[in-house]
Amino acid sequence: MPNNVVTLHEKPAVSFDLAKIRADFPILSRQVHGKPLVYLDNGASAQKPKQVLDAISKAYTETYANVHRGVHFLSDASTVAFEKARETCRRFVNAQKIEEIIFTKGGTEGINLVAASFGSTLAEGDEILITEMEHHSNIVPWHFLRERQGVVLRWTPITNDGGFDLAAFSKLLNSKTKFVAVTHMSNVLGTITPLNEIIRLAHEVGAKVLVDGCQGSVHLPVNVQALDCDFYVTTGHKLYGPSGIGFLYGKYDFLETLRPYHGGGEMIETVTKDKVSYAPPPHRFEAGTPPIVRAIGLGAGLDYMTSLDRAAVTAHESALLAHATEELENIDRVKIFGRAPEKGSLVTFAIEGIHPHDISMLLDRSGIAVRAGTHCAQPLMERLGVTASTRASFALYNTHAEVDALVSSIRTVVEFFG
Ligand SMILES: Cc1ncc(COP(=O)(O)O)c(C=O)c1O
């Protein structure tokens, strides 16, 4: 079985202690509008366990100083903690070298970095192949190259069930395709893309591949060496870490050939009045004081995730998805978008005649947080023939009772609008 496949009907392993996990997340015990919080907006951002909150507090109270440049105790301690977080990120995606991990502000910055650095090597007429199911973060930076450099943007369609159309993709690849940028898991359809085949086919025509792992890395183990992708991007706030931090993986030999993204301190080797030389990766791509404590918090989030039985977590999240799907499709006027056989734990839907913003507002009154809108995926909304939709996205701490609360509130919404 490919390493990125989720089976929907696996049963959670006994080692998965949901009550203990929920107790790790202080916010989950709060009330909203006088009702217990049911947080189903994890695809937008996940809540933080106390292990992450403690790591952030400890970094500020015990080891905080700027990194890399100081010759004093705290700077040393801070540098050690910061670089330890980089090593945790390396392990999380199984990169070969720690130098292949570049800290960024998040998924968006990782993709913009690649578009600016690698993109500067592209010429008019070169082609970039993306897909109809990308988040704007993995569309707009490539549009910049279309607007500014005459690069041609091509779109792999989705299949009618919201899957990745591998046959169409392989037809679109040609000798002009210099780059493929593809999501690991759609933030709207939940579709998990066949990365092994995509990357192999792209490499056959000499194209480099970036994987947007902002959703995929939350739910699936990532092995960049096995995938053989050239870049893998992810973001901390969905991985139970802080917002404003993420990382970009890039193959070292390739990173070494790329221009820097931002200029400033830390990323240079020498600067004179008439020339500048650059530090090797990853520092070449990390100008200025980095997000030190956020990186430490991200490391703690990843440590938290890997301290759990990830197969059991995947099975639990898949069971939540199966439960939600089964219940929602039994409600009249509800239409679910995204029925690909390999799907991560989110469900996006429309209710005929009811605007998604009204749905989410009414659910909010019951303490249920979902997301309504275009989900930063306007080309996909256009393909689906809707202006907006509602999304419930599940995390490792959600329960079947919370899915039941969602379903029951949706039934009430449908009755309310008649
Ligand atoms: C698939 C996908 N890509 C990229 C992003 C952007 O991540 P960030 O907002 O952390 O920059 C998101 C966030 O919603 C996402 O879901």
Is residue 211 a contact partner of residue 236, using CB atoms and an 8 Å limit?
no
| Helix, strand or coil, per DSSP, at residue 233 | strand
Cβ neighbours of 33 (radius 10 Å) = 10
End-to-end CA distance of the chain: 46
Distance 71 CA to ligand 1 centre (A): 37
Kindly give the confidence (pLDDT) of every residue in the chain, 418 residues in length, as a single tens digit, with 9 standing for 90 and above.
333 333 334 444 447 899 999 999 999 999 999 999 999 999 999 999 999 999 999 999 999 999 997 789 999 999 999 999 999 999 999 999 999 999 999 999 999 999 999 999 999 999 999 999 999 999 999 999 999 999 999 999 999 999 999 999 999 999 999 999 999 999 999 999 999 999 999 999 999 999 999 999 999 999 999 999 999 999 999 999 999 999 999 999 999 999 999 999 999 999 999 999 999 999 999 999 999 999 999 999 999 999 999 999 999 999 999 999 999 999 999 999 999 999 999 999 999 999 999 999 999 999 999 999 999 999 999 999 999 999 999 999 999 999 999 999 999 999 988 7
**Residues 357 and 388 sit within 8 Å (Cβ to Cβ):** yes
Atom of ligand 1 nearest to the CA of 134: 1
Burial status of residue 396 (CB atoms within 10 A of its CB: 0-12, 13-18, 19 or more): buried
Round to whole Å and give the CA distance between 363 and 413: 8
pTM of the model: 0.95
Residue nearest to atom 16 of ligand 1 (CA): 187
How far, in Å, is the centroid of ligand 1 from the Cα of 306?
21
Which among 114, 138, 187, 294 is the best mutation to test ligand 1's pocket, defined by most ligand atoms within 8 Å of the CB? 187
Q: At what angle do helices 50-58 and 292-307 cross, to 10 degrees?
A: 150
Q: How far apart are CA 115 and CA 126, in angstroms?
A: 13
Q: Which atom of ligand 1 is nearest to the CA of 110?
A: 11
Q: What CA–CA distance (Å, rounded) separates 313 from 264?
A: 41
Q: Where do the H-state alpha helices sit in 271-331? A: 292-307, 310-328
Question: DSSP code of 61?
Answer: I
- Contact (Cβ atoms closer than 8 angstroms) between residue 256 and residue 280: yes
Cα 135 to middle of ligand 1, angstroms: 7
- Return the active site residues: 376
Among 193, 214, 371, 375, residue to substitute to test ligand 1 (most atoms within 8 Å of Cβ): 214
Surface-to-core class of residue 320, CB atoms within 10 Å of its CB (0-12 exposed, 13-18 middle, 19+ buried): buried
As for ligand 1, residues whose beta carbon falls within 6 Å of it are 106-108, 135, 137-138, 183, 187, 212, 214-215, 235, 237, 246
Q: Cα–Cα distance between 49 and 277 in angstroms, integer?
A: 42
pLDDT 10s digits, 340-382: 999 999 999 999 999 999 999 999 999 999 999 999 999 999 9
Nearest protein CA to atom 14 of ligand 1, as residue: 44
CA of 108 relative to ligand 1 center, distance in Å: 6
pLDDT in the model for residue 320: 98
CA of 218 to the centre of ligand 1 (A): 12
Residue 288 contacts residue 264 (beta carbons within 8 Å): yes
Q: Are 279 and 343 in contact (CB under 8 A)?
A: no
